[in-house]
């Protein structure tokens, strides 16, 4: 050096700092000496070198993140593989049902018949199931065909789970069977949603989704330090199998990073939907019921009148649902009409119109709270069902990449050995600590 060295020079200090760390060659000793001179090592009262607190803290932090990534990944591996495989089937459930001929033939109405009214369709559904009462009306499209779904159930029962749905073509009133639990894909759907364990299974799947999100976040934290000296996407074929698998794991993981986080978070949110809807019922809906008349209606206004009132209250939007008085999403006296926009995203943003069932007049208008809007928007981002076949194919490819990342991670962990882990961890930590 010209002038004084960067740090106080002491042969005794250099010897103590490098004692026990020198390699077999003199060149390695020189490198270690120069490294220690540029990166001073504090000497304790006993003359032993100690690591710098900042570097030591960095190593502990990375070790902690590595442990989080390892164990969160292992915890959710089996369930994640199941969710990937079942989700891959559900992406193409319409195509699979059609291929397996599990879409029963429709019952066509008489040719040239006028378009039936909404009230007429509800009456037909009730007549097809004697002893029931209408609970809700659903308006939607199936492959470009406008459809009406009428939910009927036992009188006096508020829950919509208890009952039967009748689907009809809104243009001619013909009945039509849709995707239900009786099909192969319906079986896969139940396995994907709750493992056939009901509400408890649904909550378990939601918890698995949160663990998966934590695994992805910890993987993102570790990706930079481990891969900063390698080109993005590099797979070192020809090296040891464990190294090749690690490169493939890192590559597939970082490629699906954003998509996996979105699907994991939205899937967890959908799994917790009963709790979220229950919160809405006990807060917003309870407050709405408290402010409106509670006397039961002596007569019921026709559904078409309810539809006209809702259209006037929220112009420019389409009717999505009508919940009958006494159902779990309405008061004892009022219809609850739900309207939505036209675009794929606006279709998930709902407005509520409350109509007096006896007078047929507007009683109140509300917007969904933010947590309900988030829940409704989670559906399309999780299922990937709003962009046609190209988006379905993209969702399937990303699902396969996620499966590959999961499998490679599991294989890497299963082939571990204590000596190999100690050697690799030591090498990785030394690389991370270099400037």
Two structure tokens written together for 160: 């919509």
For residue 154, the model assigns a pLDDT of: 94
Percent of the chain with pLDDT over 90: 44
The Cβ of residue 310 has, within 10 Å, a number of other Cβ atoms equal to 27
Fold of 118-177: Nuclear Transport Factor 2; Chain: A, (3.10.450)
Two structure tokens written together for 429: 């930590």
pLDDT band at 421 (very low <50, low <70, confident <90, very high): low
Q: Alpha carbon of 60 to those of 57, 312, 413: distances in Å?
A: 5, 63, 21
**The residue to which tokens 């990166």 are assigned:** 39
159-173, 175-189, 212-226: lowest mean pLDDT where? 175-189
Q: Alpha carbon of 430 to those of 56, 225, 230, 425: distances in Å?
A: 11, 11, 16, 9
What's the mean pLDDT in 83-110?
Answer: 77
Q: Which residues pair with 113 in a beta bridge?
A: none
Asked if 253 contacts 223 with a C-beta cutoff of 8 angstroms, the reply is yes
217-221, 278-282, 350-354, 413-417: lowest mean pLDDT where? 413-417
Predicted TM-score (pTM) of this structure: 0.71
The Cβ of residue 235 has, within 10 Å, a number of other Cβ atoms equal to 15
pLDDT tens sequence across 253-292: 888 999 999 999 999 999 999 999 899 888 988 888 788 8
pLDDT band at 130 (very low <50, low <70, confident <90, very high): very high
Angle separating helix axes 118-128 and 303-313, nearest 10 degrees = 140
pLDDT tens sequence across 20-29: 444 444 444 4
Q: In the chain, which residues fall in CATH 3.10.450?
A: 118-177
pLDDT band at 51 (very low <50, low <70, confident <90, very high): very low
Q: Residue 126 pLDDT > 60, yes or no? A: yes
For residue 245, the model assigns a pLDDT of: 85
113 φ/ψ angles, rounded to the nearest 5 degrees: -70, 145
* Angle made by CA atoms 310, 313, 317, in degrees to the nearest 5: 70
């Amino acid at each position: 050096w010209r002038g004084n060295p960067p740090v106080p020079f002491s042969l005794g200090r250099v010897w103590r700092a490098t004692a026990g760390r020198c390699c077999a060659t003199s060149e390695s000793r020189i490198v270690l000496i120069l490294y220690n001179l540029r990166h001073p090592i504090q000497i304790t009262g006993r003359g032993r070198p100690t690591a710098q607190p900042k570097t030591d803290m960095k190593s502990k932090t990375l070790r902690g993140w590595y442990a989080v990534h390892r164990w969160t990944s292992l915890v959710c591996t089996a369930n994640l593989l199941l969710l990937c495989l079942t989700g891959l089937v559900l992406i193409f459930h319409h195509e699979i049902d059609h291929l397996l001929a599990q879409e029963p033939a429709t019952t066509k109405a008489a040719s040239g018949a006028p378009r039936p009214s909404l009230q007429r369709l509800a009456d037909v559904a009730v007549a097809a199931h004697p002893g029931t009462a209408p609970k809700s009306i659903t308006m939607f499209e199936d492959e470009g065909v406008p459809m009406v779904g009428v939910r009927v159930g036992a009188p006096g029962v508020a829950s919509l789970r208890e009952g039967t749905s009748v689907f009809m073509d809104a243009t001619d009133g013909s009945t039509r069977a849709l995707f239900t639990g009786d099909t192969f894909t319906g079986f896969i759907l139940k396995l994907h949603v709750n493992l056939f364990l009901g509400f408890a299974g649904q909550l378990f799947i939601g918890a698995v989704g949160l663990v998966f999100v934590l695994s992805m976040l910890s993987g993102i934290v570790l990706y930079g330090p481990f891969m900063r000296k390698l080109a993005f996407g590099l797979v070192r074929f020809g090296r040891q199998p464990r190294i090749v698998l690690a490169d493939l794991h890192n590559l597939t993981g970082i490629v699906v990073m954003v998509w996996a986080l979105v699907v994991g978070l939205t899937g967890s949110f959908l799994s917790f939907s009963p709790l979220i809807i229950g919160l809405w019922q006990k807060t917003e809906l309870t407050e709405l019921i408290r402010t409106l008349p509670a006397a039961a209606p002596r007569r019921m206004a026709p559904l078409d009148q309810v539809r006209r009132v809702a259209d006037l209250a929220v112009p420019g939007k389409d009717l999505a649902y009508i919940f009958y008085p006494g159902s779990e999403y309405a008061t004892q006296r009022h219809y609850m009409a739900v309207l939505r926009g036209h675009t794929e995203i606006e279709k998930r943003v709902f407005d509520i119109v409350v109509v007096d069932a006896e007078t047929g007049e507007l009683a109140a208008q509300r917007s969904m709270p933010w947590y309900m809007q988030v829940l409704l928007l989670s559906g399309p981002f999780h299922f990937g069902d709003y962009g046609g076949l190209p988006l379905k194919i993209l969702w399937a490819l990303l699902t396969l990449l996620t499966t590959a990342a999961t499998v490679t991670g599991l294989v890497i962990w299963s082939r571990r050995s204590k000596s190999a882990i100690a050697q690799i961890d030591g090498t990785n930590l030394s690389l991370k600590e270099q400037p």
